[in-house]
Amino acid sequence: MKKILIAGMPGVGKSTIFRLLVKTRTTSSNYPGTKISVERGIFKVDGDDVELIDIPGTYGLTHLYVNEVVARKILIEEKPEVIIQVADTKNLKRMLAFTGQLAEFEIPLVLVLNMVDEADQMGLKVKRHILEEKLGTIVIETIATDSVGIAALHSAILKAKVPQFPVKLTPALTEINSSLEEMMSDEIKSRKALVSLCLADASETSEWAIEQGGMKGDKTVAAHREKARLLFHRPLDRVLAEAREYVANKIFHESTFMTPVRSTPLMEKIGDYARGPVSGAVILLIVMIALYYIVGKFAASFVVDFMMNVFFGEIIGTPLNAMVELIPYPFIREMIMGKYGLFTMGLVPSLGLVLPILIAFYFTFGFIEDSGYISRLSILLDRLFKKIGLNGKALLPIMLGFSCVSMATIATRVLETRKERLIAIFLLSLGIPCTAKLSIILVIMAKVSFGAFLTVFGVIFSLMIISGLILSKMLPTDTSQFIMDVPPIRIPSLRNVIKQTYHRSTNFVKEALPLFFAGAISLFVLDKIGFLALLERGMSPVIVGFLGLPERFAESLIMGFIRGEAGVAILQQLVDVGTMNSRQLVVAMIVTILFIPCVTNFLLVIKEHGSKAAFAIIATVSACAILTGGAVNHILNYFNIVY
Ligand SMILES: Nc1nc2c(ncn2[C@@H]2O[C@H](COP(=O)(O)OP(=O)(O)OP(=O)(O)O)[C@@H](O)[C@H]2O)c(=O)[nH]1
Ligand SMILES: [Mg+2]
């Protein structure tokens, strides 16, 4: 008759579940030679009689405690068909480490998360399907005392799989493990578990395992065991346990979250959905569309149009212009209202263009931040980020990059390894436009078709993924754990968000307005001494020849490096004058987004990672920007694509 073993730590509800599954015909006897009582009962699985075995709980399987001896003997000698691991959900992390140990027996396993009622009260929630995905086997939630979930458990038994539990050991130990495993004949089941048991600190456990593995009398086993022991300064049992704990910890954090008890069920559900792979993507899409409408449509076209044309145009511009006309000195007139005037280059782009978009960005970002969504999105994107050498924690710096790349560069300190920080900084420099750049991009975007939008984002997104992939291969591996506290999902407080937006925006005005004026003055001077013309001519082969853009785009790039906003002001004039066709607009957007952020950011990177890294980043990013822009220009022209 087939056997199923109920295993787990003490006091988790194994016997309660055993009694619910086997209603009749149970026998209780001491395990031969011990005082340990083992319950056995018959129940039906898929029409067949199966023997269910209930043993006392154990904290491990390698020690000399009698219940551990009995548990490992049953696992190896009675070869159960399936293990039902009962776990106390409240202590899931510890329970998962035990799953790791059971996984070594390579027996299909059902993980039962019992006592979910008590875990609920604590606010601990398990994302069951994520846990299933991580472990590669079925997970059932139960409240054994109320018979909740028992029917589901019963029908889940057939779906049990051998759990995946990717424990990482040092190369030397892995080698010892595999040579021990190879020494055992293929007929022997649970070879991985036997290897661990061979290496156990207790020599009785080890001797028993060597015998079970058919290697009795083989001197090399002892030699391997000795070699393994010399590798570490700690007991080997501990080393193996820690390796399992590491994985358990990771799985635990990826598949659970805490909710305060007061959080409403509907909000919890939304929070759950936000982390699921499919529902999460749908919610992300909704959030992005909302962002696009608020920042891209409302702020970038409606508000910016109003500010530029009506407010700074008719209401202020016209009377101001009339007043300036009265000034008898052309030099001063030009300095105020000219192409590089304080009004035209300083006041209008900062308050008319960047500020509305910044306010819209801070407002929506504040909402998202306050709602607890970012940490859920981090979990959702963790897998994608892992592929490019990052983890979910990188989401916050990346999002902050849309307000200011320098600020985001500082925020990359939340990442644990140098590799992750460098990759994040590179990607920020490459593909994330700060609000200044974003504002002009959005204004241009409002003028071109959806196809142009797709081209720009497709190019930027692919370039970021490709460079992330390359960097994560290139830089030495340096793994870190992704542990994230997940706050409850809640309705953001409008007052909080408004206060924060106000605070951040006034800060921007105080800090950036003088810089805009400084930018305008320096451009004015550079123009007067003829430097701008020289620069334009010098860069013309690249800008005009290769990128197919107007000469003045060079100014936008150079000034953009000095201060993002200054570059934007020039680009805005180019767009307004209508000197660029839709193809050129696409290329200009791509180059503007990809080109290096301002000098502040550059100095920060030098400070954080040294000048070698900073220069490497600046050179690579500039080259990427120009080469990609040129390639897109030539492709669009070759295929004669019109937007
Ligand atoms: N609140 C709650 N209590 C439970 C649940 N399941 C079991 N219990 C209680 O937990 C205690 C331990 O249950 P047992 O079934 O004896 O646990 P066990 O794992 O067999 O214990 P050992 O055999 O000693 O390892 C009992 O008091 C049960 O009533 C549950 O889902 N919720
Ligand atoms: Mg019991």
The residue ranges of every structural domain in the chain are: 2-159, 171-262, 277-482+496-638
Distance 38 CA to ligand 2 centre (A): 9
Distance 88 CA to ligand 1 centre (A): 9
- Which of 52, 63, 139 is closest to 95 using CA atoms? 139
Token digits for 53? 């075995």
Instruction: Give the mutation target among 14, 16, 38, 95 for probing the ligand 1 site: most ligand atoms within 8 A of CB.
Output: 16
Provide the pLDDT confidence category of residue 138 given band limits of 50, 70 and 90.
very high
- Round to whole Å and give the CA distance between 383 and 163: 20
Query: What's the confidence (pLDDT) of residue 166?
Result: 94
Q: Please determine, for residue 41, whether its predicted confidence score (pLDDT) is greater than 90.
A: yes
Point out the ligand 1 atom lying closest to the alpha carbon of residue 16.
15
Phi-psi region of 123 (alpha: psi -120 to 50; beta: other; left: phi over 0): left
| Residues above pLDDT 90, as percent of the chain | 42
Distance 18 CA to ligand 2 centre (A): 8
Provide the pLDDT confidence category of residue 261 given band limits of 50, 70 and 90.
low
Distance 17 CA to ligand 1 centre (A): 8
Q: Which residue puts its alpha carbon closest to atom 28 of ligand 1?
A: 13
The 10 Å CB-count burial string (b at 16+, else e) for 402-439 is bbbbbebbebbeebbbebbbbbbbbbbbbbbbbbbbbb
Pocket of ligand 1, beta carbon within 6 A: 8, 10-16, 56-57, 114-115, 117-118, 143-145
Strand 256-258, strand 48-54: pairing: unpaired
Distance 240 CA to ligand 1 centre (A): 28
For the 2-159 domain, the top CATH level (class) is alpha beta
User: What's the pTM value of the predicted model, to 2 decimals?
Assistant: 0.52
Q: Comparing 275-279, 410-414, 548-552, 580-584, which segment has the lowest mean pLDDT? A: 410-414
- Round to whole Å and give the CA distance between 436 and 562: 13
The CA-based angle 18-21-26, given to 5 degrees, is 65
Angle between helices 564-577 and 494-528 (to 10 degrees): 80
Point out the ligand 1 atom lying closest to the alpha carbon of residue 148.
31
Q: Please determine, for residue 105, whether its predicted confidence score (pLDDT) is greater than 70.
A: yes
Q: Please determine, for residue 374, whether its predicted confidence score (pLDDT) is greater than 80.
A: yes
- Round to whole Å and give the CA distance between 357 and 351: 10
CA distances from 372 to 367, 400, 463, 482 (A): 9, 16, 30, 17
Query: What's the confidence (pLDDT) of residue 526?
Result: 85
H helices of 199-293, in order, are 203-212, 219-231, 236-255, 265-275, 277-291
Distance 115 CA to ligand 1 centre (A): 8
Inter-residue contact 398 to 390 (CB < 8 Å): no
Q: How many CB atoms lie within 10 A of CB 186?
A: 7
Q: Please determine, for residue 607, whether its predicted confidence score (pLDDT) is greater than 80.
A: no
Residues 6+ apart with CB under 8 A from 86: 6, 7, 8, 12, 13, 14, 17, 112, 114
Between 305 and 456, whose confidence is greater? 456
Amino acid at 558: I
Per-residue pLDDT reduced to its tens digit, 465-523: 999 999 988 887 765 666 665 666 767 778 878 888 888 888 778 877 787 788 788 87
Q: How many CB atoms lie within 10 A of CB 263?
A: 18
Provide the pLDDT confidence category of residue 245 given band limits of 50, 70 and 90.
very high
- Round to whole Å and give the CA distance between 100 and 240: 10
Point out the ligand 1 atom lying closest to the alpha carbon of residue 86.
19
CATH number of 171-262: 1.10.287
| Ligand number nearest to the C-alpha of 144 | 1
Question: Can you tell me whether residue 148 is helix, strand or coil?
Answer: strand
Instruction: Give the mutation target among 145, 147, 148, 153 for probing the ligand 1 site: most ligand atoms within 8 A of CB.
Output: 145
Could you give the strand order of the β-sheet that contains 26-30, starting from the edge strand earlier in sequence? Answer: 26-30, 37-45, 48-54, 2-8, 82-88, 109-114, 139-141
Instruction: Give the mutation target among 12, 67, 114, 124 for probing the ligand 1 site: most ligand atoms within 8 A of CB.
Output: 12
- Between the ranges 126-140, 145-159, 555-569, where is the mean pLDDT highest? 126-140
- Round to whole Å and give the CA distance between 358 and 87: 49
Q: Please determine, for residue 407, whether its predicted confidence score (pLDDT) is greater than 80.
A: no
Task: Give the DSSP letter of residue 87.
Answer: E
Q: Please determine, for residue 164, whether its predicted confidence score (pLDDT) is greater than 70.
A: yes
Residues 6+ apart with CB under 8 A from 249: 93, 481, 483
Amino acid at 215: M
- Round to whole Å and give the CA distance between 532 and 514: 22
- Round to whole Å and give the CA distance between 365 and 398: 12
Distance 72 CA to ligand 1 centre (A): 22
Handedness of CA 602, 606, 609, 613 (dihedral sign): positive
Burial tier of 37 (Cβ tally within 10 Å: 0-12, 13-18, 19+) = middle
